[in-house]
Structure 1
């Protein structure tokens, strides 16, 4: 399995786990994953660099079929051209870091802990929904974005940053597809620019030091990840459609 395939497989594992824990209808084939989220939106992922003509037709149908919550269509391979279908396109970097020593971390202002305590789940979920933000899960409702069933899955790990005993940041990792996928590196707005995201990343990478780490990064976050040794594999096409 190549590096890009590892990253795509990991992201597919995350969205499959989310669909199962949220009890959302979903279909997964060798070429695509479709998750029906209702008012939370439909998620479509391309899982193959060369889907068949029939699969491309199905993917285009899923991208344009009405959805109460809109559509997010993720294509790291650039395999499906959705131009002219009324969708908005943006590009995000798919990045990977091979196991290697980390640069020295300045003295952190927070404590970072891996948690398996269910009592921490509402705090983790609330920070992700409000600070990332997860707009389709606003206003916040406990257990809607990260149900208890997701917390109990072996492949999912949660990390919490606390400052003066107050939770101020979180991230989630997924162990699947031969890599550790990193998702929702998030700090509360009033605690940003203090190095909390970097501290979270250090602990996560140290915890998963036996395998490649993968993530998808917005432009503003790329300098942080590059300073930690991540390299860009490709610019993934993300198409979005408004609720209908």
Structure 2
């Protein structure tokens, strides 16, 4: 039996996460043997998302397929994740972002063992830190706003309820939303997505007033303890988040290359 490597499990989880968002929003998708694409369509120029999920032998052939897809979808802006690093999308008018590590935590308990929700502990520097699962529309809205403003998601600011995380996501059994409060005020959040093989951690965010207080660690640890601790956990780490994830037991399974096109491609001159 061909068992996917941890890297491919991380890729598959990210693809499942974006397909889950597509179902919740009603977006068009395409699933290919080498990639998954989501036609994000909150607005006509919303960036489309493409995730390369398997190694490819011929970068040029894959680039041609991507060009065909973008033409069919009238893609203006996009973000593409390539964990194999062989594509060159400068000809698409895209910019390569700094490399980020794909990280995996092997199955196992977190420090402190199982967590009873809501989880309550003392924040660094004092104060009460509470982490709970967002299970209704009001809590989801708090978590969504925390993610949009804390991550931050610039394209979603100012925050509009349901634009980033629609309420339908509450009814996707694979998706769970986690909200941390500092002295009762929303301070941090993240999402986890379980596809049956791995649990992905997404959009870990802390609001500026709460940074340095242990909020992100408490939120992620609680999510890991409560959301299928018997499965590997996966994520893509920013430079700011990588030290925390290493302390939580994640290790690097290779860099991923992100390409982004933030403006429509220039038209060829007649």
Q: Which residue of 1 aligns with 2:52?
A: 46
SS of match in other structure, 1:30: coil
Question: 8 Å contact 1:130–1:138 — kept in the other structure?
Answer: yes
The CA distance in 2 between the partners of 1:81 and 1:119, in whole Å, is 43
Q: Which residue of 2 aligns with 1:3?
A: 6
Matches within 5 A, 1:212-223: 212-223=232-243
Q: Which residue of 1 aligns with 2:197?
A: 178
Matches within 5 A, 1:28-107: 28-37=31-40, 38-50=44-56, 54-62=61-69, 67-68=75-76, 70-90=77-97, 91-103=99-111
SS of match in other structure, 1:194: coil
Instruction: Give unpaired runs (5+ residues) of structure 2.
Output: 114-120, 124-128, 265-270
Q: Does 1:147 align with 2:166?
A: yes
The CA distance in 1 between the partners of 2:122 and 2:233, in whole Å, is 22
Q: Which residue of 1 aligns with 2:247?
A: 227
Question: 8 Å contact 1:76–1:234 — kept in the other structure?
Answer: yes
SS of match in other structure, 2:139: helix
Give CA deviations for 1:79-129 in whole Å, capped at 9, x if unaligned.
423245432112111000002343469x54211112322321211111111
The CA distance in 2 between the partners of 1:145 and 1:86, in whole Å, is 26
TM-score (norm. length: structure 1): 0.91
SS of match in other structure, 1:220: coil
SS of match in other structure, 1:218: coil
The CA distance in 2 between the partners of 1:158 and 1:164, in whole Å, is 20
CA-CA distance at 1:211 after TM superposition: 0.7
Residues 63 and 227 from structure 1, CA distance in 2 versus in 1: closer, same or farther, beyond 3 angstroms?
farther
Question: 8 Å contact 2:190–2:203 — kept in the other structure?
Answer: yes
Q: Give 2:16's match in structure 1, choosing from 13, 18, 24.
A: 13
RMSD: 2.2
Give CA deviations for 1:17-59 in whole Å, capped at 9, x if unaligned.
1112111222112221222223321111112212666443112
The count of residues paired between Structure 1 and Structure 2 equals 242
Residues 59 and 143 from structure 1, CA distance in 2 versus in 1: closer, same or farther, beyond 3 angstroms?
same
SS of match in other structure, 2:186: strand
Q: Which residue of 1 aligns with 2:219?
A: 200
Q: Which residue of 1 aligns with 2:260?
A: 240
Give CA deviations for 1:155-202 in whole Å, capped at 9, x if unaligned.
000111012221111110000151110001111111111111111121
Max radius of gyration: which structure?
Answer: 2
